[in-house]
Amino acid sequence: MKKVLLGMSGGVDSSVSAILLQKQGYEVIGITMALSKETDDADAKKVCQELGIEHHFVDMKNEFKKHVIDNFIDCYANAKTPNPCIECNRKLKFGVMFEKAKELGCDYLATGHYANIEYSDKYNQCVLKKGDAIGKDQSYVLYTLPSDMLENVIFPLGKFKTKDEIRKIAKENNLNVVANKPDSEDICFIPDGNYKKFLEENSNIKPKTGNIVLQNGTILGKHSGLYNYTIGQRKGLGIAYKEPLFVLGFNVRKNEVIVGTKEEVYKDFTVVENVNILIDNLGIENLHVKVKTRYSNQESEAILQTIDSNMIKVNFIEPVKALTPGQSAVFYIDDVVIGGGIIKKVD
């Protein structure tokens, strides 16, 4: 019997994943990562007891702080907008946890993500694909998986269409402790969603006023701290001008928020770094792909150009709004994730 280590948060997705894996004939071992002092493994442990599976509670607070929280703070200190879920997947769930799976003699690592991994005849390898659930596909935050790991990762929820199906399975299997639990927060370490308060209380980032300027340097007003603004933002700037203005970017050295017109917030290209390509032996140069530049954004058509082994220039067919350094640009061909990288700069 093949063994699989399943990441379990105590939520309905990972709990139902355990049921599905058992029904598919796997020996399941549950693991809950302690990411902060508030981490509670009670529900995950109870689900494991009810399903008769082994459960581990592993302290990863130091790793989480180093790789996720410190990165989050560093990005905002440098006027970038991070995606902590991507860093958590890169370093912890498919980094530290994958090593734990090998330690425990497991053949596979599984999580409750809404995505698919399948063998592709076209690419002659296992590939990461979009999940089938409309509006819940999580392939965007999984692009950092190493290509050689794909054949050892399972996403049991990938083929389900709705969250209601998952909750139904939990109820049918008497997992009432998790069946109606709400979806988890986007940023697990900021449960109230107030990232500005979090930064002020957990870093040296404090409100520091500076100028709001046009690209030519014209001063229009004052800002309350760079971290209080996001690229593409229109409301709350507190300035008057002859036409609507949007945040275009930041000058960290001068502590300036740079604003411009609607036309200026659209860009023709971007450069991404920390590139990870999931398809082996794929020629990237002049490759036509669709690109998602934020988790919630629609995809845009683009052509890729190689800069070096770590950087790619993404040339958009039509200009794209509010490209944001620190966010990831993820490349797709049809429903297959080709790879991606972190947005470094825009034109």
Q: What CA–CA distance (Å, rounded) separates 237 from 201?
A: 24
Task: For residues 97 and 120, give the distance between their C-alpha atoms in angstroms, rounded to a whole number.
Answer: 26
Residue 321 and residue 133: Cα distance in Å, rounded? 26
- What residue type is 113 in one-letter code? H
In angstroms, the CA 186 to CA 113 distance is 13
* Rounded CA separation 233/204 (Å): 24
Task: Quote the CA–CA distance of 85 and 2 in Å, as a whole number.
Answer: 29
Q: Count H helices and E strands in the chain, helices first.
A: 9, 17
Tell me which residue of 340, 12, 336 sits closest to 169, measured CA to CA: 12
Active site residue 188: yes
Contact (Cβ atoms closer than 8 angstroms) between residue 21 and residue 4: yes
**For 90, which DSSP code?**
I
Q: What are phi and psi of 344, to 5 degrees?
A: -95, -50
* 75 is a catalytic site residue: no
Q: What share of the chain is helix, strand, coil (3-state, %, to 5)?
A: 30, 35, 40
From 48, 75, 88, 126, active-site residue? 88
* Interhelix angle 70-77/195-202, nearest 10 degrees: 100
Q: Which residues are catalytic?
A: 88, 188
